[in-house]
Structure 1
Amino acid sequence: MMSAAPATQPTLCTLHIWPSRWNLPSIDPTCVAAVFYLQLTIPGKFEVVECTNPDVSPSGKLPFLTHGHAAVSSLPAIISFVSSLAKSTTSSGARDLDASLSTPQKAKRTAWCSHVEAQIGNLVAYSFYSLNDNFWNLTNPVMASMLPIPQRYYVPGRIREMHRPRLEAAGLWTQLASELQKDSFGKRQKKVDPKDEYARAFERDKVSAQAKASFALYANLLNEQKFFFGERPTTLDIYLASHILLLLDPPFPDQLMRITLEVSYPKLVEHARHVQSEVSQIPPYLIAPTQKQSLLSLIPRPLSNPLRTQKKQLDETDLQFRRMRWTWFALAFGGVAIYVTRLCMNVAIVKANRRARRVQTTGAEEEDEMEVMDDEGDDEGEDETEVVDDEEGSEKGAQDRDD
């Protein structure tokens, strides 16, 4: 379902999502839901761009949709935008999946979609980011393979930390994840203490009970129906299926969620496969070439963004990350400057030493020459003195003979 369509196919919208893996459109549940929704509402009228830089989005998060000069971020906003296209013009070819729902049903749909994103979304985040075996053996390597250097060394950890407050509030952040220390390259620095086995078993039981409570709600709501509101999938079906598929298909080392679904809630598994089958029957969408990242992508983007529709409110995590990124650049440039300065100083010292040795050698040669000249002058003086003495002695001897 993700093969490239012919290049001549007309494109109405461009959807930016996290890259695909495990025969799914993306590694993110909201991105999977966005692809499913567009496939069912505007098939053949959009293209997909696989992106690994959320900073290009108006909200700093993926997915986001561009249509002409408009940019729409967050899944509810994308759904609202496509629904407005279906209502405003017939030439767009868009259709509203929830057009047949009554007003009370639409209210229930909205409430249940929010519940899916919160509760089932927590379970997906738990499987990807909270469990150490899953994060270090699946999530981190997969994300690192998508990212260029040096982002692959810190972006997966940054995303994990962004999910941590949400999982802690939901009681899904494991104690082992907090205690196990790792270096910046993801290597473990200490082994797990065997006495933590009981703590981990207790945490797994607690998480399993919480997951079963959430799954049971949707199994009862679905009852014996193929979809929640009839024989055709709606927005709620897409929301739930996109999350369930990311609990089933990735090859997690820890298969807690998959086992819970397949053993206790096969109706939810069947429902997710029905939605996936409905989408797979539609001709594949166009996949745009992956955008190559340059060194400029490492520099924080300016405050003015042409795709920004409103001022972005940064949370504390984003602010901390930007401070750390600027600190990293400052340290990098500072280190280069210090290295160049020390190198110049060493070169200057070497030149000064050579100059001093040259001057010292020249001075020593001049002293040697002066000593030689002094020695020659002394020898000549002594010879002249001896000659004068000999002449005076000869004259004195001649006077004595005359007397």
Structure 2
Amino acid sequence: MMSTAATQPTFCTLHIWPSRWNLPSIDPACIAAVFYLQLTIPGKFEVVECTNPDVSPSGKLPFLTHGHATVSSVPAIISFVSSLAKSTSSGARDLNASLSAPQRAKRTAWCSHVEANIGDLVAYSFYSLDDNFWKLTNPTMAFMLPIPQRYYVPGRIREMHRPRLEAAGLWTQAASETEKDSFGKRQKKDDPKDEYARAFERDKVSAQAKALFALYARLLNGQKFFFGERPTTLDVYLASHVLLLLDPPFPDQLMRSILEESYPTLVEHARNVQTEVSQIPRQYLVVSAQKQSLLSLIPRPLSGSPKTKSEMDEVDLRFRRMRWIWLALAFGGVASYAVQLWIKVIDVRANRRPRRVQRRGADQEHKAEVTEEEGEEEEDEDEGTQDGDEEGAQDGSE
């Protein structure tokens, strides 16, 4: 579906999370943006894989740049491209042009419903289920991210989803009981008494998912797409979420089994949208995520219209403060270690020569003492010899 070259010069750039599992991205909103642009302006945009949401004006991916304009969030991107479609020279197409006013209202409401409810099921599969997070989500994101972000960003994103999943009743007990040591490794306390509670949670989640899927299956009513033979933004929204429940190799395949066994029409619908996008001859250019160095950790002003401090939410401000603190501690630690190492080197060099001199002096004194003792012993022997000779001489004379 993706190509490395575009057939026409691009005039839009879409920044998204990187692709995996034969999907354009690991994020449903990013997949929806790619599908929508490919259906409306094929061959006239490029995709830049990004792992740093801070470059976005909203702090989230995806976002679209067109000249000096920067548009963030899927609804804003759809609105922007729809405005381009009003100009015949742009070549853009409006997916919802054939919808009546009531259908447009229903489409907007259902898109919000998909993003909120099916989006919770996607987040549940990626972040709430313990095995899925530690065996798939965390390694996948860590491979994409540079050092040191790979060690804390996946956990930070998981904690960002936690309040929403808890409110929806989709945060599992196993995820709450998982602990990590200082190196970020999993330490899970298994308690056989909790198996029944976890089984109950799983049944509750299954019932909730089935109720949502049944709602969209009835709305689809056996049609290829929701509003006829051509996909609209509602089809794009739902397909981008369902594909992320089907294609990733989750260790726990709860959602995939529910869809394939009970709601095959939704699976077929998602594949129809995917096929519709892939069959368009003009494909988009994909620019892979660039490797980042430690300099990328330093906050820079955005190329677009940067947000003022009052426009940032508390989470953004806290993250930026923590990043500055981390940088200060890191550089301070390195500088302190370098100074201490240099001082030790100077001390060793200064103490090496005097110790050798002292040792040589001690050796010379020891040799002198030994020489003096040997001299005294020789004198004693000479005196003893002389005394013996004198006594022998006297005895002879007598």
TM above 0.5: yes
Q: For 1:212, which of 197, 201, 210 is the aligned residue?
A: 210
The aligned residue for residue 81 of structure 1 is 80
SS in 2 for 1:320: helix
CA deviation after TM superposition for structure 1 residue 364, in Å = 9.5
Separation of aligned partners in 2, 1:358 and 1:184: 46
Residue aligning to 1:90? 88
For 2:33, the equivalent position in structure 1 comes to 34
- Aligned equivalents of 1:5, 1:62: Cα separation in 2: 23
The Cα offsets for residues 300-330 of structure 1, whole Å up to 9 and x where unpaired, read as 323x322236547333333333233222222
Say whether the 8 Å CA contact 1:154–1:184 is kept in structure 2: no
- Distance of 1:234 and 1:322 partners within structure 2: 39
Equivalent residue number for residue 342 of structure 1: 340
SS of alignment partner, residue 48 of structure 2 = strand
Name the structure 1 match of 2:166.
168
CA distance in 1, matches of 2:295, 2:349: 41
Tell me, what secondary structure is at the counterpart of 1:101? coil
Unaligned runs of 5+ in 1: 368-403
Asked if 1:127 corresponds to 2:99, the answer is no
Instruction: Give the one of 299, 305, 319 matched to 1:308.
Output: 305
For 1:136 and 1:122, the matched residues in 2 are separated by: 19
User: Counterpart amino acid of 2:220?
Assistant: L
**1:202 CA displacement:** 1.2
1:297 Cα deviation from its structure 2 partner: 4.7
The answer (yes or no) to whether the contact 2:96–2:232 under 8 Å persists in 1 is yes
Report whether the alignment pairs 1:290 with 2:291: no
Q: 1:191 to 1:229 in 2, by over 3 A?
A: same
Query: Counterparts in 2 of 1:294-373, with a 5 A limit?
Result: 294-302=292-300, 304-308=301-305, 310-311=307-308, 313-351=311-349, 353=351
Query: What's the CA shift for 1:358?
Result: 8.2
Using a 3 Å threshold, how does the CA distance of structure 1 residues 71 and 169 change in structure 2: closer, same or farther? same
- SS where residue 104 of structure 2 aligns? helix
**Match for residue 278 of structure 1 among 276, 289, 304:** 276
Alignment of 1:217-236 (within 5 A): 217-236=215-234
Give the aligned residue type for 2:64: L
* SS, match of residue 91 in structure 2: coil
Equivalent residue number for residue 183 of structure 1: 181
Deviates more, 1:155-164 or 1:282-291: 282-291
Do the aligned partners of 2:31 and 2:240 also contact (CA within 8 Å) in 1? yes
Partner Cα distance (1:17, 1:112) in 2: 23
- Code of the aligned partner of 1:45: K
Give the Cα separation in 2 of the matches to 1:348 and 1:186: 38
- The amino acid of 2:319's aligned partner reads F
Higher Rg: 1
Could you tell me which residue of structure 2 aligns to residue 59 of structure 1? 58
- Is 1:47 the counterpart of 2:46? The answer is yes
Deviations 1:190-247 (A, max 9, x none): 4422222112111111111111121122111111222111111111111011101110
Aligned to 2:387: none
One-letter amino acid of the structure 1 residue matched with residue 65 of structure 2: T
What is the TM-score when the length of structure 2 is the normalising length?
0.85
Deviation of residue 356 (structure 1)?
6.3
**Cα deviations by residue, 1:4-60 (Å, 9 ceiling, x for unpaired):** 234x62112111111111111111101110011011111111111111111111111
The answer to whether the 8 Å contact 1:47/1:286 transfers is yes
Q: Aligned AA for 1:2?
A: M
Secondary structure of 1:96 counterpart: coil
- Checking the alignment, whether the CA contact within 8 Å between 2:18 and 2:49 is kept in structure 1 is yes
The answer on whether the counterparts of 2:3 and 2:286 sit within 8 Å (CA) in structure 1 is: no
> What is aligned with 1:195?
193
Alignment RMSD: 2.5
Letter in 2 for 1:218: Y
For 1:150, which of 141, 145, 148 is the aligned residue? 148
* Structure 1 letter corresponding to 2:170: L
- Structure 1 match to 2:10: 11
Aligned partners of 2:146 and 2:292 also within 8 Å: no
C-alpha deviation, 1:137, in angstroms: 0.8
Structure 2: tracts of 5 or more residues without a match? 366-398
| 1:20 to 1:185, Cα distance in 2 relative to 1, 3 A | farther
Task: Tell me whether 192-201 or 94-103 shows the greater mean CA deviation.
Answer: 192-201
Q: Separation in 1 of the partners of 2:313 and 2:202?
A: 31
Residue 99 of structure 2: aligned partner? 101
